[in-house]
Structure 1
Amino acid sequence: MNAGVIIFVLLLVLAFAGLPIYLSIGIATMVAMIHAGFPLEAVAQKTFLGMNSASLLCIPLFILAGNIMAQGITQKLIAAANVPLGRVRGSLASVTVLSSALFGAISGSAVATVAAVGGMTVPAMEEAGYDKNYSVACASCSSLLGPMIPPSISLVVYASLTETSIQKLFMATAAPAVLCMVCFLAYTLYYGYKMKLPMQPKTTTKEKLHILKDSIWALFMPIIVLGLIFGGICTVSEAAAISALYAAIVGIFIYRTISLKNLMETLYETTISVAAIMILVGLSKASAYVVISSQLPQLFMQAMTSVVSSKFMVLLIINVIFLILGCLMEGNCIIVMMVPLMLSLVNSFGIDLIQFGILTCINIYIGCITPPVGVSLLVGAKIGNVTLGGAFKSCLPFFIISLVILLMVTYIPFFTLWLPGFLA
């Protein structure tokens, strides 16, 4: 049996058996190597090479910045988002969308976004009389903006596998992210007026200015990070370091929401999250080495081209595969497993790797809200204490919007490629 096929089969079996993803990849890779006669020393060598990249420094730093923000700074973002939206019907849902976008400009994680923002807005929406399932759906689906708005951990993982520019990927995802945010906001406003949801209490201009003044340091965070990256002032890793330092200074000395004890706990949680991601990225290099050496990508390309010859159909099939896997597996695992397999096919049909990266990641972001393994939906349902089925039913309008954005990314390359080309 082909060594690459062994990796895929074992990875799926072990993952569904409940083994952690990094162990599943490691065991599957070593079994495939033994079968194919590869020296097992290559596992350690390739894993080290996979993690030995300066560009990956941004992962722990962005996670740290997001975790620090969750210690009180997120409340400032929610308060600031409420200023322009407070006097519209269903404003709490719109505030959830806008706050998720602002938080996502730092954290790069869907789960962190729904936990930090949804953890505060879902109870508030329920208290104001919103439907519980709609409240959970809004917070869960808004969390897609977390990784879609740069920075994104998934795009960094993709870049490490394909040696694509992280900065260009971040620029390419900006247009789909902004359009998705606008569409989500439009739907929440429409739903609010349709269901005659309550408005927030009226605030005076003086109170609004006080809120904005109090939130100004929190609002500067996404502006600084995106400005540094898009302006080409510094690398993504340097921007991540600045964001983590800025978050710590604001949280400890200005807002004073972080104590030394809280900071130590935040560092501990960040270390665990980073370790899980980095070992996954490292082992992905070892598994990709075996998959590529086994000629499986070429066999996959030949099989696909023997069935379809249209670029339109190839892109459609890729999307269907990713969407199905998104219902069953964690996002970074899908990237690690499928991207090396599909690279030859993508290159043979002239699909830009930047476009393919955004297409891949939007698919797995949508997977965050599709049962049974939709992690954002699971977290949201736990926060709101609702059933997964009821919450997903309320997610359908957001889900359809996300699919339309995905189709635009898939079949309109200019949609994602114009900004990297313009800023270059």
Structure 2
Amino acid sequence: MNVGALLIILLLIFAFLGCPIVFSIGLASLAAILLDGMPLMILPQKMFTGFDSTALLAIPFFLLAGNIMSVGLTKRIIHVSNTMIGSVKGSLAIVTVVACAIFAAISGSSVATTAAIGGITLPAMAKEKYPTGFAASITGIASSMGTLIPPSIFLIVYGSATETSIAKLFMAALIPGILLAIALVIYAHVYAKRHDFPSHEKASTKEKVSAVKNGIWALFMPILILGGIFLGIFTATEAAAVSAMYAFLVSLLVYRELRWKELKEVLKQSAVSTAAIVILVGASKVSSWVIVTSNLPNAILDFFHSVTSSPVGLLLLLNVLLLIVGMFMEGNSAIIMLTPLIAPLLSAYGISGITFGVVMAMNLSLGLVTPPVGSCLLIANEIAGGKLEHTLKAVIVPLLIGIGVLMLVTYLPPLTLWLPDVMF
């Protein structure tokens, strides 16, 4: 048997047995190396190669910034959004989508977005008698934008694995992220009008100005991060460090909502999350090397050539594959496992690696609201205190909306390539 195929089979077996994915990759790689008679020195060499990437430095800083923001600044973002659109039918659901989009542009983490935004808006929706299934589903899928809207951890991992410019990937994901947010806002408003959800009294101009004034430092953060990257003032990695320092100074000195005892827990959470992702990337370099040297990608390329010779057909097959994978596997793990197999296909069919990076991130973000993994949906449902079967039923329509936006992004390359082409 091809050693690369053996590695993937062993990885899946270990994962289904409940072994953590990072250990599954490591054990499968070690077994493949031993069975093929390769020198064991490959293991530490390739792991070090995986660690030795400046792009990965962005991950701990963005995670830290998001964790600091969740301590107090999140409430200000929600307050500003609610003041601006509180008079609209279903305003709390719309505020949830908008706040998730803003928070996603800070943390790059969908799970953090679910906990931070959902922890505030879901209890508020419950008080106003929103159906728990709808509330949890709209929060879950809106939170999944954290893996798409830059700075996205998925895109950083993909860029590191494929040696693609992370700044270009961030730019490419901006328009698709905005499109998805707009689509979800429209859906929430239409649903609210159909079911006659309550709306709040329209805020006065004075109240709106006061809300913006109180939340300006929090609102300026995504502008600082994305504006700095897009204008070439700093790289994605430098932007991550700037965002962490900005969040720290604003939370501690301006709003004074961050306490030193809370900072210890924030640093601990960020360190644990970073360690898990970085070790995963390091282990993946070993598995990627084994898969590529086994000639498995060429065999897969020949198979796809036998099925379709059209880029349109290939992209459709890859979308179906990624949607299925996203249902069962954590996103970063899926990127690491599949990228060595898919990259040769992209080159052979003339498909932009930047476009596909966004497509891959979108697919795997939708996986965050589909069982059995569906971490964002499960967290939102837990916070809302709803029945999972009701939430799963309610998420069908927003999930189809997400797939519709995914198809637009897949088959209209200008949506992902226009902004990078303009800026570079």
TM-score by shorter chain over 0.5: yes
Give the AA of the match of 2:29. T
Counterpart for residue 229 of structure 2: 229
Cα drift, residue 202 of structure 1: 4.1
Contact 1:148–1:177 (8 Å) recurs in 2: yes
Secondary structure of the 1:43 match is: helix
Matched, 1:83 2:83: yes
1:18 alignment partner, SS class: coil
Paired residue for 1:159? 159
Question: Counterpart of 2:155 in 1: which secondary structure?
Answer: helix
Unmatched tracts of structure 1, length 5 or more: none
Q: What corresponds to 1:29 in structure 2? A: 29
Separation in 2, partners of 1:206, 1:344: 57
In structure 1, the residue matched to 2:239 is 239
Give the alignment's TM-score, normalised by structure 2. Answer: 0.98
Aligned residue number for residue 397 of structure 2? 397
1:111 paired residue number: 111
Per the alignment, residue 371 of structure 2 pairs with: 371
Deviations 1:347-378 (A, max 9, x none): 10011110111111111001001111111111
* Separation in structure 1 between the aligned mates of residue 8 and residue 213 of structure 2, nearest angstrom: 53
2:369 is paired with a residue whose SS is: coil
The one-letter code matched in structure 1 to 2:374 is G
Q: In the alignment, is the contact (CA less than 8 A) between 2:104 and 2:151 conserved in 1?
A: yes
Partners of 1:423 and 1:241 in 2: how far apart? 22
In the other structure, the counterpart of 1:388 is 388
Q: Match for residue 120 of structure 2?
A: 120
Rounded Cα–Cα distance in structure 1 between residues aligned with 2:302 and 2:145 = 36
Where does residue 335 of structure 2 map in the other structure?
335
CA distance in 2, matches of 1:65, 1:200: 32
Of the structure 1 ranges 128-137 and 203-212, higher mean CA displacement relative to structure 2 is found in 203-212
- SS across alignment from 2:87: coil
Structure 2 distance, partners of 1:370, 1:109, is 17
User: For each residue in 1:23-64, what CA deviation from the matched residue of structure 2 results, as whole angstroms up to 9, or x when unmatched?
Assistant: 000000000111111111211111111111111110000000
Cα distance in 2, alignment partners of residues 200 and 7 from structure 1: 56
Give, in whole Å, the separation in 2 of the partners of 1:202 and 1:294: 64
Verify: 1:319 aligned to 2:310, yes or no.
no
The structural deviation recorded for 1:65 is 0.2
CA RMSD in angstroms, aligned pairs only: 1.0
Aligned residue number for residue 193 of structure 1: 193
Cα deviation digits, residues 201-229 of structure 1 (max 9, x gap): 44333222221111011001111011001
1:69 aligns with 2:60: no
**Distance in 1 separating the partners of 2:34 and 2:306:** 31
Quick one: structure 1 residues 387 and 38, their matched pair in 2 at CA, closer, same or farther if it must change by over 3 Å? farther
Count of matched residue positions in the alignment of Structure 1 and Structure 2: 424
In structure 2, C-alpha distance between the alignment counterparts of 1:84 and 1:384, rounded to whole Å: 24
Instruction: Please give the alpha-carbon distance, in whole angstroms, between the structure 2 residues aligned to 1:204 and 1:307.
Output: 61
Normalization by structure 1: what TM-score? 0.98
Aligned equivalent of 1:53:
53
Are the aligned partners of 1:107 and 1:147 in contact in 2 as well (CA < 8 Å)? no
Unmatched 5+ stretches in structure 2: none
Deviations 1:318-358 (A, max 9, x none): 11111111111111111111111111111100111101111
Q: Which residue of 1 aligns with 2:96?
A: 96
More displaced, 308-317 or 362-371? 308-317
